[in-house]
């Protein structure tokens, strides 16, 4: 399997389309997500657990839904189509929120950041060029995504 190199982190948002919220009441607490269709990143066919920090401390909420995806762009399309609630990186959804295509939920609860990674093939030493590129990306992205 590939080697992951963390480049940065990005804040996350919990979002839903207005069409979904017209059919289902918006969650008021993280625990309410158990009663909703959540769009999760599928890993080995399992669900997901979303962590929230709020006034009452940290809570971990197992979420599930009938539909999942293996990448953020596919999850974005599913949430825009009204299939459920998603947890996505701010850089992917903030413009959609500003335009009114998506609604941000659970604003008073902070989520864990999303990792931004580069993948390289296993079992080989990285060339100097690849190491230089990874360093350049880390430096260029540091602080960049946190401001979203």
pTM of the model as a whole: 0.83
131-140 contacts at long range (C-beta below 8 A, 24 or more positions apart): 134/5, 134/7, 137/7, 138/7, 138/8
What pLDDT is recorded for position 144? 60
Summarize pLDDT for 105-130 with one digit per residue, the tens. 999 999 988 888 899 999 888 999 99
Instruction: Calculate mean pLDDT across residues 88-93.
Output: 92
Contact 125, 51 (CB under 8 A): no
Kindly state the percentage of the chain with pLDDT values over 70: 92
Distances in Å between the Cα of 54 and the Cα atoms of 2, 14, 16 are 35, 14, 20
Instruction: Calculate mean pLDDT across residues 75-104.
Output: 96
Summarize pLDDT for 11-46 with one digit per residue, the tens. 999 999 999 999 999 999 999 999 999 998 765 555
Query: Comparing C-alpha atoms, which of 41, 86, 33 is closest to residue 68?
Result: 41
Kindly indicate the confidence band of residue 148, based on its pLDDT and cuts at 50, 70 and 90: very low
């Amino acid at each position: 399997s590939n080697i992951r190199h963390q480049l940065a982190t990005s804040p996350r948002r919990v979002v839903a389309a207005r069409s979904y919220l017209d059919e289902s009441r918006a969650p008021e607490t993280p625990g309410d997500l158990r009663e909703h269709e959540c769009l999760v990143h599928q890993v080995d066919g399992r669900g997901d657990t979303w962590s929230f920090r709020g006034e009452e401390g940290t809570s971990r909420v197992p979420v599930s839904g009938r539909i999942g995806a293996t990448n953020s762009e596919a999850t974005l399309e599913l949430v825009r189509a009204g299939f459920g609630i998603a947890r996505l990186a701010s850089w992917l959804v903030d413009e959609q929120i500003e335009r009114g295509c998506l609604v941000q939920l659970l604003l008073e609860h902070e989520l864990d950041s999303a990792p931004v990674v580069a993948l390289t093939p296993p079992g080989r030493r990285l060339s100097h060029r690849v190491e230089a590129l990874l360093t350049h990306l880390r430096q260029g992205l540091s602080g960049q995504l946190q401001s979203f």
